[in-house]
Protein backbone atom coordinates (compact mmCIF):
# COMPACT_ATOMS: atom_id res chain seq x y z
CA UNK A 1 0.00 0.00 0.00
CA UNK A 2 1.31 3.43 -0.99
CA UNK A 3 2.03 5.75 1.93
CA UNK A 4 0.60 9.32 1.72
CA UNK A 5 2.53 11.82 3.77
CA UNK A 6 0.92 14.14 6.26
CA UNK A 7 1.93 17.16 4.15
CA UNK A 8 0.23 15.66 1.07
CA UNK A 9 -2.95 15.04 3.06
CA UNK A 10 -3.01 18.72 4.08
CA UNK A 11 -2.62 19.85 0.46
CA UNK A 12 -5.43 17.48 -0.67
CA UNK A 13 -7.76 18.67 2.08
CA UNK A 14 -7.08 22.29 1.15
CA UNK A 15 -7.82 21.58 -2.52
CA UNK A 16 -11.12 19.87 -1.66
CA UNK A 17 -12.10 22.74 0.63
CA UNK A 18 -11.32 25.25 -2.09
CA UNK A 19 -13.34 23.29 -4.62
CA UNK A 20 -16.31 23.14 -2.23
CA UNK A 21 -16.12 26.89 -1.64
CA UNK A 22 -16.01 27.47 -5.41
CA UNK A 23 -19.09 25.30 -5.90
CA UNK A 24 -20.98 27.19 -3.19
CA UNK A 25 -19.99 30.54 -4.70
CA UNK A 26 -21.14 29.44 -8.15
CA UNK A 27 -24.43 28.17 -6.71
CA UNK A 28 -24.99 31.49 -4.93
CA UNK A 29 -24.23 33.38 -8.13
CA UNK A 30 -26.64 31.14 -10.05
CA UNK A 31 -29.45 31.74 -7.55
CA UNK A 32 -28.78 35.45 -7.62
CA UNK A 33 -28.83 35.50 -11.40
CA UNK A 34 -32.11 33.57 -11.44
CA UNK A 35 -33.74 35.97 -8.98
CA UNK A 36 -32.50 38.93 -11.02
CA UNK A 37 -33.67 37.53 -14.35
CA UNK A 38 -36.99 36.31 -12.92
CA UNK A 39 -38.39 39.81 -13.18
CA UNK A 40 -37.95 39.57 -16.96
CA UNK A 41 -39.65 36.16 -17.33
CA UNK A 42 -42.81 36.31 -19.45
CA UNK A 43 -45.10 33.30 -19.66
CA UNK A 44 -46.94 32.73 -22.93
CA UNK A 45 -49.05 29.85 -24.29
CA UNK A 46 -45.85 28.63 -26.07
CA UNK A 47 -43.75 28.58 -22.88
CA UNK A 48 -41.51 30.93 -20.91
CA UNK A 49 -39.10 33.50 -22.36
CA UNK A 50 -37.02 36.48 -21.26
CA UNK A 51 -38.28 39.96 -22.10
CA UNK A 52 -35.97 42.75 -20.88
CA UNK A 53 -38.56 45.35 -21.88
CA UNK A 54 -41.03 44.11 -19.25
CA UNK A 55 -42.11 46.62 -16.64
CA UNK A 56 -40.45 46.45 -13.22
CA UNK A 57 -42.65 48.68 -11.10
CA UNK A 58 -44.39 46.01 -9.08
CA UNK A 59 -42.26 43.44 -7.31
CA UNK A 60 -42.99 40.06 -5.81
CA UNK A 61 -41.79 39.19 -2.28
CA UNK A 62 -38.58 37.93 -3.91
CA UNK A 63 -38.13 41.11 -5.90
CA UNK A 64 -39.36 39.53 -9.16
CA UNK A 65 -42.31 40.50 -11.29
CA UNK A 66 -44.08 37.74 -13.24
CA UNK A 67 -46.05 38.79 -16.30
CA UNK A 68 -48.54 36.47 -17.96
CA UNK A 69 -49.42 37.11 -21.57
CA UNK A 70 -53.15 36.43 -22.01
CA UNK A 71 -54.13 35.24 -25.48
CA UNK A 72 -56.68 37.42 -27.24
CA UNK A 73 -60.25 36.04 -27.25
CA UNK A 74 -61.08 33.91 -30.26
CA UNK A 75 -63.58 35.82 -32.42
CA UNK A 76 -66.99 34.18 -32.42
CA UNK A 77 -66.05 31.64 -29.73
CA UNK A 78 -69.13 32.63 -27.76
CA UNK A 79 -67.90 31.22 -24.43
CA UNK A 80 -68.12 33.26 -21.25
CA UNK A 81 -66.65 32.74 -17.80
CA UNK A 82 -68.86 31.25 -15.12
CA UNK A 83 -69.57 34.25 -12.93
CA UNK A 84 -72.39 32.62 -11.00
CA UNK A 85 -76.13 33.30 -11.25
CA UNK A 86 -76.98 36.34 -13.34
CA UNK A 87 -79.44 38.96 -12.24
CA UNK A 88 -83.00 37.65 -12.70
CA UNK A 89 -84.89 39.18 -15.61
CA UNK A 90 -88.51 40.14 -15.71
CA UNK A 91 -90.62 39.58 -18.79
CA UNK A 92 -94.22 40.53 -19.46
CA UNK A 93 -95.07 38.41 -22.48
CA UNK A 94 -93.05 35.41 -23.61
CA UNK A 95 -92.45 35.05 -27.33
CA UNK A 96 -89.60 33.21 -28.95
CA UNK A 97 -88.36 29.72 -29.66
CA UNK A 98 -87.93 26.31 -28.11
CA UNK A 99 -85.35 23.56 -28.67
CA UNK A 100 -86.20 19.99 -27.73
CA UNK A 101 -83.77 17.09 -27.37
CA UNK A 102 -83.81 16.36 -31.11
CA UNK A 103 -82.65 19.89 -31.86
CA UNK A 104 -79.94 19.67 -29.21
CA UNK A 105 -78.25 16.93 -31.24
CA UNK A 106 -77.22 19.74 -33.61
CA UNK A 107 -75.92 22.45 -31.24
CA UNK A 108 -74.05 24.29 -34.00
CA UNK A 109 -77.12 24.41 -36.22
CA UNK A 110 -79.18 25.55 -33.25
CA UNK A 111 -76.62 28.23 -32.40
CA UNK A 112 -76.69 29.53 -35.97
CA UNK A 113 -80.50 29.61 -36.01
CA UNK A 114 -80.72 31.48 -32.70
CA UNK A 115 -78.12 34.04 -33.77
CA UNK A 116 -80.49 35.13 -36.51
CA UNK A 117 -83.56 35.73 -34.33
CA UNK A 118 -84.91 39.15 -33.50
CA UNK A 119 -84.36 40.14 -29.89
CA UNK A 120 -85.52 40.49 -27.19
CA UNK A 121 -86.89 36.95 -27.17
CA UNK A 122 -87.36 33.91 -24.97
CA UNK A 123 -85.49 30.67 -25.66
CA UNK A 124 -86.56 27.39 -24.04
CA UNK A 125 -84.21 24.39 -23.92
CA UNK A 126 -84.75 20.78 -22.85
CA UNK A 127 -82.22 20.09 -20.08
CA UNK A 128 -82.90 16.46 -19.09
CA UNK A 129 -84.52 13.41 -20.63
CA UNK A 130 -87.50 11.54 -19.18
CA UNK A 131 -85.02 8.79 -18.30
CA UNK A 132 -83.07 11.08 -15.96
CA UNK A 133 -80.09 11.84 -18.23
CA UNK A 134 -78.93 15.45 -18.32
CA UNK A 135 -78.17 17.20 -21.60
CA UNK A 136 -75.38 19.22 -19.98
CA UNK A 137 -72.62 18.04 -17.57
CA UNK A 138 -74.53 18.33 -14.30
CA UNK A 139 -72.54 18.54 -11.07
CA UNK A 140 -75.40 17.12 -8.98
CA UNK A 141 -74.49 14.07 -6.93
CA UNK A 142 -75.04 10.92 -9.00
CA UNK A 143 -76.26 12.83 -12.06
CA UNK A 144 -76.04 10.91 -15.34
CA UNK A 145 -75.19 12.63 -18.62
CA UNK A 146 -76.91 11.69 -21.87
CA UNK A 147 -74.75 9.77 -24.32
CA UNK A 148 -76.97 10.76 -27.25
CA UNK A 149 -76.13 14.46 -27.09
CA UNK A 150 -72.83 16.36 -26.89
CA UNK A 151 -73.35 17.66 -23.36
CA UNK A 152 -70.23 19.85 -23.41
CA UNK A 153 -71.39 21.58 -26.59
CA UNK A 154 -74.85 22.09 -25.09
CA UNK A 155 -73.35 23.64 -21.97
CA UNK A 156 -71.30 26.04 -24.15
CA UNK A 157 -74.48 26.97 -26.01
CA UNK A 158 -76.34 27.56 -22.73
CA UNK A 159 -73.62 29.87 -21.45
CA UNK A 160 -73.52 31.78 -24.73
CA UNK A 161 -77.28 32.32 -24.69
CA UNK A 162 -77.24 33.26 -21.00
CA UNK A 163 -74.60 35.92 -21.69
CA UNK A 164 -76.95 37.68 -24.12
CA UNK A 165 -78.95 40.21 -22.07
CA UNK A 166 -81.64 40.33 -24.78
CA UNK A 167 -82.55 36.66 -24.31
CA UNK A 168 -84.78 35.23 -21.60
CA UNK A 169 -83.60 31.66 -21.00
CA UNK A 170 -86.03 28.93 -19.91
CA UNK A 171 -85.23 25.33 -18.88
CA UNK A 172 -87.68 22.47 -19.51
CA UNK A 173 -87.35 19.75 -16.85
CA UNK A 174 -89.36 16.50 -16.57
CA UNK A 175 -89.67 16.81 -12.81
CA UNK A 176 -91.21 13.68 -11.30
CA UNK A 177 -90.47 11.28 -14.16
CA UNK A 178 -86.86 10.32 -13.42
CA UNK A 179 -85.86 6.62 -13.55
CA UNK A 180 -82.19 7.35 -12.83
CA UNK A 181 -82.93 9.11 -9.54
CA UNK A 182 -85.66 6.63 -8.58
CA UNK A 183 -83.32 3.66 -9.04
CA UNK A 184 -80.62 5.33 -6.96
CA UNK A 185 -83.12 6.36 -4.24
CA UNK A 186 -85.86 3.76 -4.33
CA UNK A 187 -87.60 5.08 -1.22
CA UNK A 188 -88.35 8.23 -3.26
CA UNK A 189 -90.19 6.44 -6.06
CA UNK A 190 -93.83 5.57 -6.61
CA UNK A 191 -94.29 1.88 -5.90
CA UNK A 192 -96.48 -1.15 -6.41
CA UNK A 193 -98.15 -2.86 -3.40
CA UNK A 194 -95.18 -5.26 -3.42
CA UNK A 195 -92.79 -2.37 -2.82
CA UNK A 196 -91.22 -2.58 -6.29
CA UNK A 197 -91.04 0.62 -8.30
CA UNK A 198 -94.03 1.33 -10.55
CA UNK A 199 -93.17 1.76 -14.24
CA UNK A 200 -95.13 3.67 -16.89
CA UNK A 201 -95.68 2.62 -20.50
CA UNK A 202 -92.43 4.29 -21.60
CA UNK A 203 -90.34 2.35 -19.10
CA UNK A 204 -89.97 5.24 -16.66
CA UNK A 205 -90.12 5.31 -12.87
CA UNK A 206 -91.73 8.28 -11.13
CA UNK A 207 -90.90 10.16 -7.94
CA UNK A 208 -93.18 10.91 -4.98
CA UNK A 209 -93.85 14.68 -4.66
CA UNK A 210 -94.64 14.18 -0.97
CA UNK A 211 -91.05 13.09 -0.30
CA UNK A 212 -88.82 15.81 1.19
CA UNK A 213 -85.77 14.40 -0.57
CA UNK A 214 -87.50 14.63 -3.93
CA UNK A 215 -88.47 18.26 -3.42
CA UNK A 216 -84.92 19.01 -2.27
CA UNK A 217 -83.53 17.34 -5.40
CA UNK A 218 -85.75 19.46 -7.63
CA UNK A 219 -84.65 22.59 -5.77
CA UNK A 220 -80.98 21.65 -6.25
CA UNK A 221 -81.55 21.09 -9.95
CA UNK A 222 -83.27 24.46 -10.32
CA UNK A 223 -80.43 26.21 -8.50
CA UNK A 224 -77.87 24.56 -10.78
CA UNK A 225 -79.85 25.77 -13.79
CA UNK A 226 -79.94 29.24 -12.27
CA UNK A 227 -76.17 29.11 -11.92
CA UNK A 228 -75.88 28.26 -15.62
CA UNK A 229 -77.83 31.41 -16.45
CA UNK A 230 -81.44 30.26 -16.80
CA UNK A 231 -84.10 32.80 -15.87
CA UNK A 232 -86.98 30.33 -15.51
CA UNK A 233 -87.51 26.61 -15.00
CA UNK A 234 -90.59 24.73 -16.23
CA UNK A 235 -91.42 21.60 -14.24
CA UNK A 236 -93.04 19.15 -16.63
CA UNK A 237 -94.52 15.76 -15.59
CA UNK A 238 -95.51 17.37 -12.30
CA UNK A 239 -98.27 15.00 -11.22
CA UNK A 240 -98.90 11.50 -9.95
CA UNK A 241 -99.87 9.31 -12.91
CA UNK A 242 -103.27 7.64 -13.07
CA UNK A 243 -101.85 4.17 -12.65
CA UNK A 244 -104.25 1.73 -11.01
CA UNK A 245 -101.35 -0.37 -9.79
CA UNK A 246 -99.67 2.51 -7.94
CA UNK A 247 -99.79 2.03 -4.18
CA UNK A 248 -100.23 5.52 -2.75
CA UNK A 249 -101.55 6.02 0.76
CA UNK A 250 -101.57 9.83 0.87
CA UNK A 251 -103.62 12.54 -0.84
CA UNK A 252 -102.09 12.65 -4.34
CA UNK A 253 -103.62 15.98 -5.34
CA UNK A 254 -102.55 17.69 -2.13
CA UNK A 255 -99.03 16.23 -2.40
CA UNK A 256 -98.54 17.76 -5.86
CA UNK A 257 -99.94 21.15 -4.84
CA UNK A 258 -97.83 21.29 -1.68
CA UNK A 259 -94.68 20.38 -3.61
CA UNK A 260 -95.39 23.22 -6.05
CA UNK A 261 -95.90 25.63 -3.17
CA UNK A 262 -92.59 24.65 -1.58
CA UNK A 263 -90.67 25.01 -4.82
CA UNK A 264 -92.12 28.45 -5.48
CA UNK A 265 -91.40 29.56 -1.90
CA UNK A 266 -87.85 28.20 -1.69
CA UNK A 267 -86.47 29.25 -5.07
CA UNK A 268 -85.30 32.85 -5.40
CA UNK A 269 -83.87 34.47 -8.50
CA UNK A 270 -85.33 31.95 -10.93
CA UNK A 271 -88.99 31.92 -11.97
CA UNK A 272 -90.94 28.72 -11.29
CA UNK A 273 -93.47 27.49 -13.85
CA UNK A 274 -95.31 24.27 -14.64
CA UNK A 275 -96.40 22.37 -17.71
CA UNK A 276 -99.80 21.21 -16.51
CA UNK A 277 -103.56 21.30 -16.94
CA UNK A 278 -103.97 21.36 -13.16
CA UNK A 279 -105.34 24.81 -12.28
CA UNK A 280 -104.52 24.21 -8.59
CA UNK A 281 -100.87 24.91 -9.44
CA UNK A 282 -101.61 28.36 -10.89
CA UNK A 283 -100.98 30.30 -7.63
CA UNK A 284 -97.41 28.96 -7.55
CA UNK A 285 -96.55 29.47 -11.22
CA UNK A 286 -95.03 32.38 -13.09
CA UNK A 287 -96.38 30.76 -16.28
CA UNK A 288 -98.36 27.70 -17.30
CA UNK A 289 -97.01 25.88 -20.35
CA UNK A 290 -98.74 23.64 -22.87
CA UNK A 291 -97.42 21.56 -25.77
CA UNK A 292 -100.23 21.74 -28.29
CA UNK A 293 -100.56 21.89 -32.08
CA UNK A 294 -104.33 21.77 -32.33
CA UNK A 295 -105.70 25.32 -32.30
CA UNK A 296 -109.18 23.99 -31.53
CA UNK A 297 -107.93 22.99 -28.06
CA UNK A 298 -106.66 26.44 -27.06
CA UNK A 299 -109.87 27.70 -25.44
CA UNK A 300 -110.47 24.46 -23.54
CA UNK A 301 -106.92 24.46 -22.15
CA UNK A 302 -107.12 28.12 -21.12
CA UNK A 303 -110.58 27.98 -19.49
CA UNK A 304 -109.61 26.35 -16.13
CA UNK A 305 -107.07 29.10 -15.49
CA UNK A 306 -109.46 32.01 -15.96
CA UNK A 307 -109.53 34.01 -12.75
CA UNK A 308 -106.46 32.26 -11.37
CA UNK A 309 -103.99 33.94 -13.72
CA UNK A 310 -104.63 37.45 -14.97
CA UNK A 311 -104.22 38.38 -17.69
CA UNK A 312 -104.24 34.93 -19.23
CA UNK A 313 -102.58 36.28 -22.35
CA UNK A 314 -99.38 36.93 -20.37
CA UNK A 315 -99.36 33.75 -18.27
CA UNK A 316 -100.28 30.93 -20.65
CA UNK A 317 -97.49 29.79 -22.98
CA UNK A 318 -98.00 27.44 -25.93
CA UNK A 319 -95.14 25.45 -27.45
CA UNK A 320 -96.39 24.82 -30.96
CA UNK A 321 -95.29 24.46 -34.55
CA UNK A 322 -98.77 25.43 -35.71
CA UNK A 323 -99.47 28.79 -37.34
CA UNK A 324 -103.10 28.69 -36.25
CA UNK A 325 -104.00 32.27 -35.26
CA UNK A 326 -105.88 31.06 -32.17
CA UNK A 327 -102.54 30.58 -30.46
CA UNK A 328 -101.63 34.23 -30.93
CA UNK A 329 -103.96 35.35 -28.13
CA UNK A 330 -101.40 33.92 -25.70
CA UNK A 331 -97.64 33.60 -25.36
CA UNK A 332 -96.13 31.40 -28.06
CA UNK A 333 -92.80 29.60 -28.47
CA UNK A 334 -92.11 28.01 -31.85
CA UNK A 335 -89.46 25.45 -32.83
CA UNK A 336 -86.00 26.94 -33.37
CA UNK A 337 -85.18 24.17 -35.85
CA UNK A 338 -87.07 21.52 -37.69
CA UNK A 339 -87.09 18.52 -35.36
CA UNK A 340 -84.04 16.37 -35.91
CA UNK A 341 -82.00 19.28 -37.31
Cα dihedral 108→113→114→118 (10° resolution):
160
The reported pLDDT for the residue numbered 317 is: 98
Q: State pLDDT tens for residues 52-105.
A: 443 333 333 323 222 222 233 323 333 333 445 555 555 678 999 999 999 999
Q: At what angle do helices 212-228 and 252-266 cross, to 10 degrees?
A: 40
Q: Is the pTM of this model over 0.85?
A: no
Across the beta sheet with 47-50, the strand order is 47-50, 41-44, 67-68
The reported pLDDT for the residue numbered 340 is: 47
Q: State pLDDT tens for residues 271-299.
A: 999 999 999 999 999 999 999 999 999 99
The reported pLDDT for the residue numbered 92 is: 73
Q: 226, 220 in Cβ contact below 8 A?
A: no
Q: State pLDDT tens for residues 8-56.
A: 555 667 666 766 677 676 766 665 555 454 444 433 334 444 544 433 3
How many Cβ atoms are within 10 Å of 172's Cβ, its own excluded? 23
Amino acid sequence: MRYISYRSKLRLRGALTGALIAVLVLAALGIGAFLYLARYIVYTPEGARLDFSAGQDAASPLGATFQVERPAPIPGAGLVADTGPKEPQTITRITGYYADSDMLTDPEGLRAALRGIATPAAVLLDVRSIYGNFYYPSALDGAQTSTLINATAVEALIRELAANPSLYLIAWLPALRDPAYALAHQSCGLSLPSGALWMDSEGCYWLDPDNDQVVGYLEQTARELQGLGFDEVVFDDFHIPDGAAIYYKGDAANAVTEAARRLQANLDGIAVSFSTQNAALAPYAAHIFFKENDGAQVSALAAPFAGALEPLSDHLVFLTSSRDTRFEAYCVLRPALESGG
